[in-house]
DNA sequence: TGATAATGTGGAAACGTTACCACAATCTTA
DNA sequence: TAAGATTGTGGTAACGTTTCCACATTATCA
């Protein structure tokens, strides 16, 4: 790969002059500039951003640490982050942490060594103090989790969302709502759990009933089967699933045992993933504006990079209760 | 950020010695090593991979240029690429091209300037010759499109898949199959179109009937409405949609006008995205092994990086016809 | 017309590493 | 006990840029 020296030699000028042409600063004679540009084209010269980065200290790269890009809640966030990044000439390194603390740590270390200028951390799983230790002075924005001591944060009020979801079920006339929760190690899962409890206590038709699961369709399916095999008064007439994937599992379970979703069993999910609109019955859910959150998080990050340490920003995005067929007695 | 010099100074040794400790090569006295490690920890030292990259010429970074990560067919591919990359200590820069040639070109240029060691190009859209011009000598693997003159390629036989899908409809007893095609600028869309035509001609019940659309749910919805408003003999009893997203739109259109998917109208999609299993009726589709293709593509790329220029590999992955409720007269 | 400003160019240090070479001290071994 | 191997350490060029300084030449203006 041709270097700036090769270009200089071919154009018969000094390295400094070539640099001036590349960066379009300082004085360069029109004729000289033409020669240099010619030389660059002939050699297929591309400036090395890594050499540039070494002198400027800027890499124009940020990291995106996200649990799992193939989980349908996350691609929207990723797209938002990337759109905002490229609009500002930054690139994004994609890291799938699989909700594992060690992977998160490993990626963060790598990103630091690569001299990423910052990182968007989605659904981080680590203890905040541990996190801050590895992340050091690298700017970061947390999505889907509030950080207490550092960084900016952007999230949706999971507890209030879950409360709203559960309340909606009672208001639609369902009397006994079970919650299929996500893994307790995931913060948002816990917040949703406590939102559920709050609503249950408020309406006070029954005790909270919780089945712990794993945020996956299969987990939702199996949990629902377990719930629905109960007979008599204790059998619930509605399920609030900790996320849409599990809610889809609940729908599948209904089909399996011949129960009509919506009619015989109210179902609410969480996240508002695209496919929640296409299930049968279509899924009532709490929609989170993933794209906007991603985009905003990246914006805050780039802002922090340019203008560091001024303040810490926390933004709570509004969710939206999308009422669909899975919570309608009739249809 | 502390440098190797700071560490050397604090540990009272030379830069060379610190380098030896970092890379664990050459002779270092046990005592000295301990001091150096202490110094590194005290300073929170992290070696700069960008400085390393400058001398070694290696960045351990590859690019992933993909049309749109928030389109449900692509996250699996991305995950496959990233998994394989990180298993080999490589990072992945995510680039959303939105099927636009200029964006593809822009990203490729950026990746070259960042000295990425290679790129996985998904569903590339550019003329091959133009592509090769910008990509220069950077190793690459094309996914979902066969490259004729350079690079490795990994894809599924779209034409044969479409043929299989259409044939399946006739074999199930549908007599008149319309195709809602993807944008003609997308190669796989064209291949699917010609697979459809082939099957139509073979069975010869009717002329090919094609509606051009855009690979989006809304496009599928509108196209289906147009198709279904025809009355009489020319009204089709089945639709083969160019991808699952559009097929979902077809299902929505059925619901809208009170037609039973599967019974009154056979529907087949393409891709096998996760949510195709959860629609109502569940969607018959041609499944593409996205994760495996991504993983394999990345493997080929890393292989090429380590051991360049030996040969060109083309791999055609098998698709799978997933027969579900949308092509069953009864149920 | 002389002083100052504008224009044009090159040389070299610096960025943070690694890799090579040189040198010295200590250990083996015949 | 001398020759060679092993162990341990430091100095420095090189990687590909940018930036600063120095120097020349030409233009401007009072």
Residues in chain B: 331
B141 and B193 co-located in one domain: no
- Which single residue has its CA nearest the C1' atom of nucleotide C10? A14
Whether A247 maps to a domain, the answer reads yes
Mutating which of A252, A278, A279 best tests the B interface, going by the most B Cβ atoms within 10 A? A278
B201 and B281 co-located in one domain: yes
Please give the Cα distance from B194 to A310 (Å, whole number): 59
- At A260 the pLDDT is 87
A97 → chain B, closest CA residue: B83
A188 and A247 co-located in one domain: yes
Residues B267-286 have a mean pLDDT of 93
Q: Chain B: nearest CA to A156, how far in angstroms?
A: 20
Please give the Cα distance from B110 to A125 (Å, whole number): 32
Mutating which of B97, B114, B120, B249 best tests the A interface, going by the most A Cβ atoms within 10 A? B114
CATH number for the domain spanning B41: value is 1.10.260.40
How many Cα atoms occupy the beta-carbon half-sphere of A70 within 13 Å?
Answer: 18
Whether A131 maps to a domain, the answer reads yes
CA-based nearest residue to A182, from A217, A212, A204: A212
Who among B115, B252, B278 is closest to A275 (CB)? Answer: B278
B20 and B105 co-located in one domain: no
* CB atoms B70 and A79 under 8 Å: yes
* Strand D bases contacted by the protein (CB, 7 Å): 7-12, 14-21
- At B27 the pLDDT is 96
Q: Chain A: nearest CA to B269, how far in angstroms?
A: 14
CA–C1' distance A30–D29 (Å)?
26
Query: Chain A contacts of B54, Cβ < 8 Å?
Result: 48, 50-51, 54
CA-based nearest residue to A36, from A7, A1, A61, A16: A7
A277 and A263 co-located in one domain: yes
pLDDT in tens, B157-186: 999 999 999 999 999 999 999 999 999 999
Q: Which stretches in chain A have pLDDT values below 70?
A: 329-331
Element (H, E) at A255: helix A244-257
Please give the Cα distance from A195 to A189 (Å, whole number): 10
Element (H, E) at B295: helix B290-306
Residues B212-233 have a mean pLDDT of 90
B152 and B268 co-located in one domain: no
Is residue A94 within 8 Å of residue B94, measured between CB atoms? yes
Structure tokens at B313: 């590999």
Please give the Cα distance from A322 to A316 (Å, whole number): 19
Residues B267-292 have a mean pLDDT of 94
* CB atoms A94 and B44 under 8 Å: no
* CB atoms B46 and A109 under 8 Å: yes
B18 and B136 co-located in one domain: no
CATH number for the domain spanning A180: value is 3.40.50.2300
* CB atoms B275 and A280 under 8 Å: no
Q: Which domain holds residue A122?
A: 57-155+290-316
Whether A162 maps to a domain, the answer reads yes
Please give the Cα distance from A126 to B87 (Å, whole number): 22
Is residue B247 within 8 Å of residue B220, measured between CB atoms? yes
Domain count, chain B: 3
A258 and A113 co-located in one domain: no
- At B329 the pLDDT is 64
CA–C1' distance B114–C18 (Å)?
20
* CB atoms B274 and A110 under 8 Å: no
- At A331 the pLDDT is 39
Query: Chain A contacts of B275, Cβ < 8 Å?
Result: 72, 274-275, 278-279
Please give the Cα distance from B261 to A189 (Å, whole number): 36
Whether A52 maps to a domain, the answer reads no
Is residue A331 within 8 Å of residue A266, measured between CB atoms? no
B67 → chain A, closest CA residue: A79
pLDDT in tens, A233-273: 778 999 999 999 999 999 999 988 988 888 889 999 999 99
CA-based nearest residue to B63, from B81, B80, B49, B75: B81
Whether A214 maps to a domain, the answer reads yes
- Which single residue has its CA nearest the C1' atom of nucleotide C9? A17
* CB atoms A251 and B50 under 8 Å: no
Whether A295 maps to a domain, the answer reads yes
Please give the Cα distance from B234 to B267 (Å, whole number): 17
B26 and B78 co-located in one domain: no
Residues B256-282 have a mean pLDDT of 90
A40 and A127 co-located in one domain: no
Widest CA span in chain B: 91
DSSP secondary structure, A69-126, as one string: TTSTTHHHHHHHHHHHHHHTT-EEEEEE-TT-HHHHHHHHHHHHHTT-SEEEEES--S
Q: Out of A101-105, B50-54, B232-236, which region has the weakest mean confidence (pLDDT)?
A: B232-236
CA–C1' distance A185–D18 (Å)?
48
* Strand C bases contacted by the protein (CB, 7 Å): 7-12, 14-21
Please give the Cα distance from A322 to B10 (Å, whole number): 60
* CB atoms A279 and B280 under 8 Å: yes
B189 preceded by a cis bond (ω within 30 of 0): no
A282 and A163 co-located in one domain: yes
- Is residue B331 over pLDDT 50? no
CA–C1' distance A255–D17 (Å)?
64
Nearest nucleotide from residue B5 CA, by C1' atom? C16
* CB atoms A79 and B91 under 8 Å: no
- At A263 the pLDDT is 85
* CB atoms B279 and A279 under 8 Å: yes
Q: Cα B239 to chain center, whole Å?
A: 25
CA-based nearest residue to A188, from A119, A83, A290: A290
A37 and A22 co-located in one domain: yes
Please give the Cα distance from B115 to B93 (Å, whole number): 12
B90 → chain A, closest CA residue: A110
Who among A54, A70, A92 is closest to B93 (CB)? Answer: A92
Q: What angle do CA A41, A44, A48 make, to 5 degrees?
A: 115
Tell me what percent of chain A is helix, strand and coil, each rounded to the nearest 5: 50, 20, 35
């Amino acid at each position: 790969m041709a270097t700036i020296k090769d270009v200089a030699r071919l154009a018969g000028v000094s390295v400094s002059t070539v640099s001036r042409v590349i960066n379009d600063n300082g004085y360069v004679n029109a004729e000289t500039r033409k020669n240099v540009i010619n030389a660059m084209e002939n050699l297929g010269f591309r400036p090395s951003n890594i050499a540039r980065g070494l002198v400027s200290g800027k890499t124009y790269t940020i990291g995106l640490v996200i649990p799992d890009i193939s989980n349908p809640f996350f691609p929207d966030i990723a797209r938002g982050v990337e759109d905002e990044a490229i609009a500002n000439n930054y690139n994004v390194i994609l890291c799938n942490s699989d909700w594992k603390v060690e992977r998160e740590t490993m990626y963060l270390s790598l990103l630091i060594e690569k001299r990423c200028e910052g990182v968007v951390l989605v659904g981080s799983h680590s203890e905040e103090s541990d996190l801050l230790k590895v992340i050091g002075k690298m700017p970061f924005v947390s999505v889907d989790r509030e950080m207490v001591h550092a960084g900016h944060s952007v999230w949706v009020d999971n507890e209030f969302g879950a409360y709203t979801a559960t309340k909606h079920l009672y208001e639609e006339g369902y009397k006994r709502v079970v919650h299929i929760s996500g893994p307790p190690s995931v913060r948002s899962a816990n917040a949703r759990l406590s939102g559920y409890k709050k609503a249950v206590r408020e309406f006070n038709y029954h005790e909270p009933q919780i089945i712990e699961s794993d945020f996956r369709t299969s987990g939702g399916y199996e949990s629902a089967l377990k719930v629905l095999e109960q007979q008599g008064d204790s059998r619930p007439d509605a399920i609030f699933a900790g996320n849409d994937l599990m809610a889809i599992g609940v729908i599948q379970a209904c089909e399996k045992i011949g129960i009509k979703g919506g009619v015989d069993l109210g179902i609410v999910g969480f996240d508002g993933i695209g496919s929640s609109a296409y299930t049968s019955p279509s899924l009532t859910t709490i929609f989170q504006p993933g794209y906007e959150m991603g985009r905003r998080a990246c914006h805050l990050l780039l802002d922090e990079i340019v203008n560091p340490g001024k303040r810490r920003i926390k933004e709570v995005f509004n969710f939206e209760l999308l009422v669909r067929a899975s919570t309608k007695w009739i249809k």
